[in-house]
Each structure stands twice: as C-alpha cells, then as structure tokens.
Structure 1
Amino acid sequence: MQKLAAAENVLRTALHRSPLLDNRPYEIFGQGSRVNNTYLDPASDIDLVLMLEAPTADYGWAEFRDDVVATLAESYTVRMGRRCVNVDDPGSQFGEMVDILVATQHQEGVFFLDQEGRPIVNFPKQHRRNGDDKDRRTGGRFKQVVRETKRRRLPVLPEAPSYLLECLLYNVPDEVYRTATPGDALAWLHRFQHEDPGGFAALPCQNGINRLFGSGPDQWDAGEAARIVDVLRQL
C-alpha cells in the first residue's frame, strides 16, 4: 500500500503543476489487485483511478482525458492504452509502471470510453468494499483463494483475466470458504454452471451492480468462463 500511496502523491503533484486543471475537482484512488490485496508480483503495475467530479456539458470525459495526458506528458513517458493512460517509465518519480484510468463521476461509479470509443460504467469502490467485506466474513480465506487461483492459472491460462477470476470466486458462497482450497471454490463454480447454467450466466460482478457476462466491452462470455473454471479445476 505504500507504493500505491506514493504513486497517488506523485500524480497529485503533477496535476497541481498544470494550469489546465486549475479549479477542476477530481479524486484519485486505487483500483485493481494491489488495492484489493490479490496481487502476486510485488513489481506488478499500480492501477489508479483519476475521476473528474461534476463533469459539465462543455467539460466532460474527452476534455478531461486530453488535459490529463497533456499534463503528464510534460514530465513522463505516457501513452494511451486500451482503457488507461500508461506511464511506462519505471525510472520516473512514480518508481513503478502505472496505469491511470481517467474517468468522470457517474452516479456512484465512474464513466469512461475505451480505445474503440465504447462507453463503460464501472464501480471500483464497490468492488473493493465488497471484496473486503467477503474477506472479513471468510476469515481471510476469500482473497487467499483468489491469489492461489491466479497463481495456478499462470502456467496454463495466462490470458485468463484476473478481474474475471476474482468476480467468479466472489460469487462462491461464504460457507465454502470456511475450509476452502482453490479446488473447492472452483468445484462449486463447476457444479453451479452445470446444474444451473442460466444462474451462472446471470452472475454479477464483485461490485454487485454490473453483470459479469454479456456483450458489453467490459463483460465476458459465460461459456468461455466455464471452460476456464473447468481447466483450473483439473489442475
């Protein structure tokens, strides 16, 4: 968490130096495996959200994104990734590779466009809060199983998204985690998918608001998720 806090401070200092963002209200907070304490590699990227509060008709996501990129480019090597502004210079003041999701406030969540211009609304604060609550209810077993499952998938399914795995495992009932191994949690998901494929396809994300499966740019295919579960279960 020290690295995350340090990166937040570096970003805040960089933004304060720019007249482009004078009087623009924004919030910076962490997301992803580091802030959720489910990361495997201490050198993994730091994921931050930079959220414009109270966007207006003449200053919304696109204008904010352009001003943020212009500001950071004055001091750092940056590029636009599929969804985030990537700071690719580990020798900079950030000291790490940093991904910054530039977004605008949208009700209780955040709004942004991906590289193809498709709108996405997500809820990173709810994701973190729900994960922390489940970890407390399960005596720390939930996040332990998430980390073990991510580690298990690396040799055979490195392309399996960490976010998908975490959300799938979040839907496993708390009582399974009281004595769970990764195999127990994956076995529950495997049984649930075979016994109730409709219920499996309707599973929510960890934020409890978005659906995990569907045709949206931030959703997955239920059949492919079932295949990933089945492969991991047999390891």
Structure 2
Amino acid sequence: MPRFTEEQLNQMCRPASDTEETKLQNAEAILRKALSSSTIVQSSKYEIFGQGSYANNTNIRLNSDIDINVCYTDGFYYKIPEGKTANEYGLGNPTDYSFQAFKTNIEEMLVAYYGRSEVIRKNKCLTIKGNTNRIQIDVVPTWRYRRYDYANNRTYSEGVVLYGDDNQYKQVINYPKQHITNGISKNTDALRRFKRLTRIFKNVRIRMDNDSYHPNENITSFLLECLAFNVPTSTYVKNRYTCSWNDILKDSIYYLWDNTKEDSTTYNEWGEVSELLYLMRGHKWSRQDVHDYMYWMWNYLQLG
C-alpha cells in the first residue's frame, strides 16, 4: 500500500497559499519604491521581475523568501560563435560599467533606503531581511545576456548573467523569463498537473530529509522541477478525467529512473525548463544522483 493516500497527496500538490501572485507583486512594489528613492542607477536602466519558485508558482512554504531579479538593461554581455567577431554581429564598443559595479550600486541604494543592518550582501544576491511587515526578499542583480547561436545571422537568445563574489570571472547564465513561459505552457498541456507534481516532489524530498532517508544535497528543488518538466506530457494526461497521484508518481518516477540508467542516452538531452540550457551537463548533480534518488523515492513512497 502506498505511503500516502490520494487525499494526502492532494494536500501536497497545492500552493503554499492562494496569494503567491499578490506576495510577488507586493515584493516587487516594495523593491521599486526602495530603488526609486535613489538616483545612483536611473530606473530607466534596469528592469525588475520575479523569478524562482514564487514566480513559477511551485513554492511549497508559506515563509519562503521571494527572488526578485534586478536586471541592468543599458548594456549586455554576449557570446558569439567561435571564429566570429563582434563587428559581424553589429556589437559596439564595450562599456566601462561592469556587473560588479552594478551590484554594488544596487546594494548602496538598498542600504540607503533600509539601513545597513537590514541588507545582507551574499555571493549571488542581496538579501533584504524580513520582518512583521514584509517577507524576506532576495534581490538578484544581473545584466542582460545575449547568446548568438548562428554563424550567419544575428538572431540571439536573451537571458541574464551574474558573477558571484567568490569568483568574478565565472559567469552564471540563466533564462528566467523563458522558464516562466515554458512552465506555464507545460502546465497547460499537462492539465495543470506538472506544477502540482513538482510540489509533490518537493514535499516528498523534505519528508525524506526529515526522516534521514537517503538524503542527497545535490537533489535541489530546481532539479526536481526540471525533472518533472522532462516527464512526457502523455504521462500527465494518461487519464484525462480522473487523477490518481500515486499512479502519476509511479509512471513519472519510473520514467526518470529508467532513463538515467548507465546505458541510457536520453537524460543527456534533457533541458532545464527554459529549454535553453542542458539539465544534466555542468551542474553539481549527476546521472547517478538522479537515478539513485528515483529508486529511493519509489521505495520511500512504497509504490510497489
């Protein structure tokens, strides 16, 4: 018999509350107000938008912090095909302003508004402490990033880039807007079951960790969302009119376990939700991590 009843799984698949969008809008409004009170960086030179589990509507904790991207839009970093030159893509001269300067300027603006004690500079973000009046906000300064994929035209994919304080030469590139768009599309095609399964995966991971049942720090919430994204849509809609979460868990976990076997090649082509970065290349998790975790999750859930 499965460990969790359908009623329990239905509880797990729900959002932390019905007010995620409101909380995100409020956090963005708070940040806009704080930054607009300073002219260190003019508001016309940056864009503010949500990212992470709140923006993607996959969060499971009421008290989880909110990630807000502050993206510098008056310049961009780029990557062009090997052997090509910037002039061939109409790219002008480099600016003297840098990512590090932008992050420091945003920090100065937040400190001027909230006070030094309320703003913590971290490796990849600036944290505004939460209190009784506001939720904790992780402000993520980024620059625009263009990836030119083709040698013979100027078409590019636009994302964001940042550099951690611990390594100011290593780029961290993401495509948060495409992540949101593709997540919504997958969820629609999957009869709204993709994001619900993502929340179940996250809740089960917490329970496994709390029970000290084969915990693995490489299995992150982001990875679980991307794995759920790579489960075929047909698995979600196998039965369009009734939804058995234990059946969906069986099919999805088996699919992920089976396609991360040592002789499989499928996993190597899986993408992040943005579909612009590979999921199983260049991350801290490995094929073996995912394969083993699916095995232990199956057993933990007592799926048979």
- TM-score norm. by structure 1 comes to 0.91
2:180: which partner in 1? 128
Q: Which residue of the partner structure matches residue 221 of structure 1?
A: 286
Matched residue SS, 2:208 = coil
Contact 1:212 1:220 in 2 (8 A): no
User: Does residue 1:175 correspond to 2:213, yes or no?
Assistant: no
Report the secondary structure of 2:62's partner residue. Answer: coil
Moved more, 72-81 or 165-174: 72-81
Q: Evaluate the alpha carbon distance shift between residue 91 and residue 72 of structure 1 in structure 2; reply closer, same or farther with a 3 A threshold.
A: farther
Matched residues, number: 231
Residues 65 and 177 from structure 1, CA distance in 2 versus in 1: closer, same or farther, beyond 3 angstroms? same
Q: State the distance in 2 between where 1:209 and 1:47 align.
A: 21
Alignment of 1:168-207 (within 5 A): 168-178=227-237, 179=239, 181-194=248-261, 196-207=263-274
* CA distance in structure 2 between the partners assigned to 1:31 and 1:23 by the alignment: 19
Residue of 63, 88, 96 corresponding to 2:129: 88
Q: C-alpha distance in 2, partners of 1:85/1:197? A: 41
Among 27, 32, 35, the alignment partner of 1:12 is 32
On the 8 A contact 2:36/2:43 being kept in 1, the answer is: no
- Deviation digits for residues 68-98 of structure 1, max 9, x if unmatched? 0111112331112232111123246xx0011
1:151 maps to 2:189? no
1:116 aligns with 2:166: yes
Q: Following the alignment from structure 2 to structure 1, what is the Cα–Cα distance between the partners of residues 262 and 286?
A: 18
| Greater Cα shift, 177-186 or 113-122 | 177-186
Q: What one-letter code is carried by the residue in structure 1 that aligns with 2:111? A: A
Alpha-carbon distance in structure 2 between the residues aligned to 1:23 and 1:79: 22
Aligned to 1:50: 70
Deviation for aligned residue 1:219: 5.2
Pairing 1:67–2:108 present = no
Deviation per residue, 1:185-214 (Å, 9 max, x gap): 111111111275332133211110111123
Task: Compare CA radii of gyration and give the structure with the larger one.
Answer: 2
Identity within the alignment, %: 29
Offset, 1:43:
1.7
- Change beyond 3 A, Cα 1:198–1:116: farther
Consecutive aligned runs of 4 or more in structure 1 exceeding 4 Å deviation: none
- 8 Å CA contact 1:213, 1:219 repeated in 2: no
Paired letter, 1:156: M
Counterparts of 2:264 and 2:122, CA distance in 1 = 34
SS in structure 1 of the partner of residue 259 of structure 2: helix
Q: Are the counterparts in 2 of residues 211 and 219 from structure 1 also a CA contact under 8 Å? A: no
Once the two structures are overlaid, the 10-residue window that deviates more, 62-71 or 172-181, is 172-181
User: Gaps (5+ residues) in structure 2?
Assistant: 1-20, 76-93, 147-157, 210-214, 240-246
Normalising to structure 2: TM-score of the pair?
Answer: 0.71
- What RMSD in Å do the two structures reach over aligned CA positions? 1.9
Contact 2:272 2:278 in 1 (8 A): yes
Deviation at residue 232 of structure 1 after TM alignment: 1.6
Contact 2:267 2:280 in 1 (8 A): no
Instruction: Specify whether residues 86 and 23 from structure 1 end up closer, same or farther in structure 2 by C-alpha distance, changes over 3 A only.
Output: closer
Tell me which residue corresponds to 2:193: 141
Instruction: Find the counterpart in structure 1 of residue 142 from structure 2.
Output: 103
Alignment gaps of 5+ in structure 1: none
Contact 2:65–2:136 (8 Å) recurs in 1: yes
One-letter code of the match for 1:162? Answer: S
Instruction: Indicate conservation of the 8 Å contact 1:24/1:52, yes or no.
Output: no
The worse-fitting range, judged by mean Cα deviation, of 107-116 and 19-28 is: 19-28
